[in-house]
């Protein structure tokens, strides 16, 4: 955990530039919340606020957002990023996902984007169930372990899939959710994005450790794996300027039981 915390502190200032932010999950959340004239929400594991900017872009002034992360450097960048976009209706809290300093039954929704694998999941779900209002919604947007195996890194970067043991499969997520009966799975949504990049860009992404998985390699192992990655790409793609793959994600839509 110290290594991961150091990774996010080191990468905070450039994080928004090296990560891809997809709009489709935001549009899905907007549609699910369209019946609410005001939305009190929290983003847990908010990072530098990439998805929070899009939430404000699409929910507008009816959104009031608490941005929660365990890393001070990420929250500092989040504050800067949101203010650069003229966003004011937010506050930040440094906290762990399994101990959220928010009031009982206070939020219409809780969101988390590509962060849940960093959480103590059962504790986070318990906290989400506590702070959500009756019939409030939890949106968990994540890669499954099997989805991670099939992206460009899982297929061609040595040991990437094996090292990223923090991701879970859908049945594992459901099993943990069963232990919190106040929360019920409403739907499972799947997202697929066609990507295209050149090899130079992919190498730069890996060297920038745009996924925290890369911080789990020691320096020698990373350099050897990066060299092998280049060889694997050369074998599988005729044109190194047109490398095409799919990125897949899953969203769990979870509802707090009415009257609880």
- pTM for the full model? 0.95
pLDDT tens digit sequence for 210-241: 999 999 999 999 999 999 999 999 999 999 99
pLDDT of residue 185: 97
Q: State the Cα–Cα distance between residues 176 and 125, nearest whole angstrom.
A: 9
Distance, in Å, from the CA atom of 222 to the CA atom of 15, rounded to the nearest integer, reads: 20
| Residue 202 placed within a domain | no
Report the mean per-residue pLDDT for the chain.
96
pLDDT for 91 equals 98
| Residue 14, domain member (yes or no) | yes
What is the total count of domains within the chain?
Answer: 1
Q: What's the whole-number mean pLDDT along residues 78-84?
A: 97
Determine the structural domain holding residue 56 and report its residue range.
2-151+164-196+250-256
Alpha-carbon distance of 112 to 103, in angstroms, equals: 18
Task: Tell how far CA 229 is from the center of its chain.
Answer: 25
Q: Is 66 strand, coil or helix?
A: strand
Taking the mean position of all CA atoms in its chain, how far away is CA 142? 6
Percent of the chain at pLDDT exceeding 90: 92
203: in domain:
no
Taking only the tens place, the pLDDT of each residue in 181-216 is: 999 999 999 999 999 999 999 999 999 999 999 999
In a domain, 80, yes or no: yes
- Parallel, antiparallel, or unpaired for β 243-256 and 183-197? antiparallel
Rg for the chain, CA atoms, rounded: 19
pLDDT bucket at 143, cuts 50 / 70 / 90: very high
Q: 205 near 233, Cβ under 8 Å?
A: no
Inside any domain, residue 34: yes
**Domain CATH for 185:** 3.40.50.150
Give alpha helix (H) positions in the chain: 2-11, 15-18, 24-32, 50-59, 72-84, 121-131, 145-149, 152-156, 160-163, 170-178, 199-207, 219-236
Tell me if 130 is assigned to some domain.
yes
Q: Does 233 map to a domain?
A: no
213 touches 9 (CB < 8 A): no
Count CA atoms within 13 Å of residue 84 on its CB side.
11
**What percentage of the chain exceeds 70 in pLDDT?**
99
- Is residue 226, in this structure, part of any structural domain at all? no
Does 260 score more than 60 pLDDT?
Answer: no
pLDDT at residue 259, as a whole number: 61
């Amino acid at each position: 955990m110290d290594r991961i915390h150091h990774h996010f502190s080191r990468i905070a200032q450039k994080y928004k530039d090296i990560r891809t932010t997809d709009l489709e999950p935001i549009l899905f959340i907007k549609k699910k919340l369209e019946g609410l004239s005001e939305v009190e929400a929290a983003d847990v594991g908010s990072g530098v606020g990439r998805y929070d900017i899009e939430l404000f872009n699409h929910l507008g002034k009816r959104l009031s957002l608490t941005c929660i992360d365990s890393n001070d450097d990420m929250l500092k960048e989040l504050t800067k990023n949101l203010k650069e976009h003229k966003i004011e209706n937010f506050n930040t809290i440094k906290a762990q996902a399994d101990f959220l300093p928010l009031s009982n039954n206070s939020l219409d929704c809780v969101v988390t984007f590509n962060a849940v694998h960093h959480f103590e999941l059962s504790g986070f779900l318990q906290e989400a169930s506590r702070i959500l209002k009756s019939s409030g919604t939890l949106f968990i947007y994540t890669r499954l372990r099997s989805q991670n195996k099939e992206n460009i890194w899982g297929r061609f970067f040595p040991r990437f899939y094996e090292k990223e043991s923090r991701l879970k499969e859908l049945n594992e997520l459901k099993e943990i959710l069963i232990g919190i009966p106040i929360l019920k799975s409403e739907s499972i949504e799947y997202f697929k994005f066609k990507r295209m990049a050149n090899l130079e860009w992919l190498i730069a992404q890996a060297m920038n450790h745009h996924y925290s998985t890369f911080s789990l390699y020691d320096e020698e192992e990373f350099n050897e794996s990066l060299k092998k990655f280049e060889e694997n790409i050369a074998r599988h793609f005729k044109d190194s300027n047109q490398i095409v793959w799919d990125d897949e994600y899953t969203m769990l839509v979870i509802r707090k039981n009415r009257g609880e």
